[in-house]
Amino acid sequence: MSGGTNTDDMAQGVEFWREPERAGWLMKQGEYIKTWRRRWFVLKQGKLFWFKESQVTRASRPRGVIPVGSCLTIKGAEDVLNKQYAFELSTRTDTMYFIADSDKDKEDWINSIGRSIVQHSRSLADNEVVDYETSANR
């Protein structure tokens, strides 16, 4: 899900430093060591990137990336974590937790990521339908 060589592969072709759909600070729980760290998040073209610094340029290297189209749900998680402004992002195999700075921030992130999930999962479904129809007409 996060770092490693495929982070660079997944960032290919995405100008994450220019006109993001949403960008801002969130607390993210570490993948292996479950401490909370403040990271700068950028949502762009169906991918959620995170960085150590908010100054994101062409030369910036993402610390990790989540392909939003592979996510199934995004929802509040204050009751799960017992922390204010918490939300969770789930894939088939993993659930990641985040904490926003305010209730408005939390709702804005949930709405933005939710819209991106719908857009990018729908485009995958459309491609599958087109492929199916193409092969059915042969």
Q: What is the pLDDT of residue 1?
A: 47
pTM of the model: 0.82
Q: What is the pLDDT of residue 108?
A: 98
Q: What is the pLDDT of residue 132?
A: 46
Q: What is the pLDDT of residue 121?
A: 80
Residue 46 above 50 pLDDT? yes
| pLDDT (tens digit per residue) in 14-44 | 999 999 999 999 999 887 888 999 999 999 9
**Per-residue tokens: 43:** 């949502």
3-state secondary structure the chain: CECCHHHHHHHCCCCCCCCCCEEEEEEEECCCCCCEEEEEEEEECCEEEEECCCCCCCCCCCCEEEEHHHEEEEEECHHHHCCCCEEEEEECCCEEEEECCCHHHHHHHHHHHHHHHHHHHHHHHHHHHHHHHHHHCC
Q: What is the pLDDT of residue 11?
A: 84
- For residues 25 and 115, the answer to whether their CB atoms sit within 8 Å is no
Residue 9 above 90 pLDDT? no
| pLDDT (tens digit per residue) in 72-128 | 999 999 999 999 999 999 998 989 999 999 999 999 999 999 999 999 886 555 555
